[in-house]
Amino acid sequence: MKIGILISGRGSNMLAIVEAVQSGLIPASEVTVVISDKTSAEGLLKAKERGIETLAVTRKGRTCEEHDAEIIAELKKRNVELICLAGYLRLLSKEFISAFPNQIINIHPSLLPAFKGLDAQRQAIEYGVKVSGCTVHFVDVALDHGAIIAQKTVEVKDDDTAESLAARILEHEHALYIESVKRIAEGKIKIVGRRVGLVKN
């Protein structure tokens, strides 16, 4: 399975997936390309150091659709079959979603549908929830809305700040994202409407 990863920044989830693929934990797969919408994304260098092709495709004053068209073309050119969003800070156009049906997944640092959008960990702290976590889900046209593949709960402690909660959630994000990509690579995921389940052998 050819995987493309889209990032905008640090790229720790991207790196976790790259390492899981390179160590064979995610079978029969390769990370074919890492694309960032920001030339300065730290993750680009980390990917390059691991021998992965990297591209910066910036918006350059274009519309979302024009920008996405270039990214779609780069992914199609490389026959990418699964696209992992990993801290990619842009909404995808409907053209992007329909170019890769059920082939785009994302990780979000809350238990969706709670706390969609930016700063989910701060939203959780400010709301006062006792439990938060992370979610891997398919991407559709609505923000943080697509069918849920996997979730992991993380306790919110009394003295947590947005930063300390984010750090604790992040440790679980990496494992959850790897597990989800592995299930997809093994063909073990079935989708019925909004419900994503495991294929029984």
Q: Which residues bind ligand GRF (CB under 6 A)?
A: 7, 9-14, 86-87, 107-109, 170, 173
What's CA 152's distance to the chain center, in Å? 15
Residue 69 vs 151, nearer CB to ligand GRF: 151
Distance, in Å, from the CA atom of 171 to the CA atom of 27, rounded to the nearest integer, reads 22
**CA–CA gap between residue 46 and residue 11 (Å, rounded):** 8
Q: How far is the CB of 19 from ligand GRF (least distance, A)?
A: 13
Closer residue to ligand GRF, CB minimum distance, 69 or 182: 182
In angstroms, what is the minimal distance from the CB of 134 to ligand GRF? 6
Q: How far is the CB of 12 from ligand GRF (least distance, A)?
A: 3
**Of all residues in this chain, which one has the CB nearest to ligand GRF in the complex?**
87
Which residue among 108, 137, 145, 174 is the active-site one? Answer: 108
Residues 6 or more apart whose Cβ sits within 8 Å of residue 155: 130, 131
From the CB of 11, what's the least distance to ligand GRF, in Å? 5
Q: Whose Cβ is closer to ligand GRF: residue 12's or residue 29's?
A: 12
Task: Judge contact between 153 and 169, C-beta under 8 A.
Answer: no
Cα of first residue to Cα of last residue in the chain, in angstroms, is: 20
d(CA 89, CA 36): 10
108 as an active site residue: the answer is: yes
> For residue 33, which of 66, 76, 62 has the smallest C-alpha distance?
76
Q: Which is nearer to ligand GRF, 12 or 123 (CB)?
A: 12
Supply the residues annotated as catalytic. 108
